[in-house]
């Protein structure tokens, strides 16, 4: 039996991006048992990993004390492999037969490929979230078989990455209207606690559509299982966008102030759309775009988003 320690991200989106590394190890090392160290937000993503030994939750502490806590929790094991995707020094302070530590690239390589490079492999495994039977059953109750489902995530972690809610409402209205690319589809809105305001314009645009609004109501595993039953996901650059892509859902990411070459939804079943301004142009216009208090996707028109969604539906 092998013992493998994977040190991965605190953020949901980054942890999902890194999950292709875990997938590769699960599939190529059938005798291995896995310990996963991650932040509290990402921890639920790993509950159903095959041959999971434990999840170590790293809650951030002053002066980096959470790294000492991780060392103390893992130093007593002789590891066959330690994979550190956080670029920390922890792997060097543990007894390990093999260590793999992420080297970050300056070139605009996709983060999924960057993570896979830590293993020194030629292929880039797609991200994957392992689901429990309970999550699958709950998703089947929430989204039973029937008309196709259009999933929307109108929120993001920061305001500068959020497409205006009124445009989301207009896009959903056009997609699901008679003659639209998803005419008659059921509409499901997803988001985290506190994202209800972002969903309001969609309700206003379709007051009688019987929208299924799951904002702030579901755990991460339940959301992932729901995405497995969805025909199309449309959303901002967010953790849920990466989750939809990891579930092999046709995923359209709305981009502006994020670099899609590094952070776009990953896989042949995915696409992105942006306005006329490229990432470099937007980035150069601000000292720090991340501090901008308003949307930086204002040049992305509804027509362009609709055309991209229609093209993705036809392709998938």
What's the pLDDT tens digit per position in 158-194?
999 999 999 999 999 999 999 999 999 999 999 999 9
CATH class of 137-315: alpha beta
Contact 176, 185 (CB under 8 A): yes
Q: What is the pLDDT of residue 103?
A: 85
Structure tokens at 47: 């509950």
Q: CA 41 to CA 313: how far, in whole Å?
A: 31
Positions in the chain short of pLDDT 70: none
Q: What is the pLDDT of residue 291?
A: 87
Q: What is the pLDDT of residue 47?
A: 97
Structure tokens at 215: 């904002």
Grouping H, G, I as helix, E, B as strand and the rest as coil, residue 203 is helix
Q: What is the pLDDT of residue 18?
A: 97
CATH of 2-117, one of 3.40.50.2000, 3.40.1410.10, 3.20.20.70, 1.10.287.70: 3.40.50.2000
Q: What is the pLDDT of residue 51?
A: 98
- 3-state secondary structure string, 5-74? EEECCCCHHHHHHHHHHHHHHHHHCCCEEEEEEECCCCHHHHCCCCCEEEEEECCCCHHHHHHHHHHHHH
Contact 59, 66 (CB under 8 A): yes
Q: What is the pLDDT of residue 269?
A: 98
Neighbouring C-beta atoms of residue 139, cutoff 10 Å: 22
What's the pLDDT tens digit per position in 17-52?
999 999 999 999 999 999 999 999 999 999 999 999
pTM of the model: 0.96
Grouping H, G, I as helix, E, B as strand and the rest as coil, residue 79 is strand
Q: What is the pLDDT of residue 89?
A: 87
Do 2-117 and 137-315 share a fold? yes
Q: What is the pLDDT of residue 5?
A: 98
Per domain, the residue ranges of the chain are 2-117, 137-315
């Amino acid at each position: 039996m092998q013992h493998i320690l994977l040190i991965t991200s605190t953020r949901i989106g980054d942890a999902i991006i890194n999950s292709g590394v875990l997938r590769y190890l699960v599939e190529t090392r059938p005798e291995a048992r896995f310990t996963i160290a991650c932040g509290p937000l990402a921890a639920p993503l790993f509950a159903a990993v095959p041959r999971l030994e434990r999840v170590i939750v790293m809650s951030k502490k002053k002066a980096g004390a959470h790294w000492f806590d991780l060392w103390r929790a893992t130093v007593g094991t002789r590891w066959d492999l330690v994979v550190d995707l956080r670029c920390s020094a922890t792997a060097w302070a543990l007894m390990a037969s093999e260590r793999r530590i992420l080297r970050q690239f300056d070139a605009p390589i996709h983060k999924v490929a960057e993570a896979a490079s830590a293993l020194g492999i030629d292929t880039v495994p797609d991200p994957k979230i392992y689901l429990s039977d309970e999550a699958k059953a709950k998703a089947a109750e929430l989204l039973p078989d029937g008309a196709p489902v259009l999933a929307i995530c109108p929120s993001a972690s920061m305001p500068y990455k959020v497409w205006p809610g009124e445009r989301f409402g207009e896009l959903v209205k056009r997609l699901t209207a008679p003659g639209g690319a998803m005419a008659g589809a059921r509409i499901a809105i997803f988001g985290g606690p506190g994202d209800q305001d972002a969903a309001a314009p969609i309700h206003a645009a379709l007051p009688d559509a019987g929208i299924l609004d799951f904002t702030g109501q579901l755990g991460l595993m339940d959301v992932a299982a729901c995405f497995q039953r969805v025909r199309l996901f449309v959303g901002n650059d967010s953790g849920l966008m990466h989750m939809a892509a990891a579930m092999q859902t046709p995923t359209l990411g709305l981009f502006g102030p994020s670099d899609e070459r590094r952070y776009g939804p990953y896989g042949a079943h995915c696409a992105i759309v942006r306005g006329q301004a490229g990432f470099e142009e937007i980035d150069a216009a601000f000292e720090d775009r991340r501090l901008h208090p308003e949307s930086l996707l204002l040049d992305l028109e509804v027509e362009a988003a609709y055309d991209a969604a229609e093209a993705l539906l036809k392709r998938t």
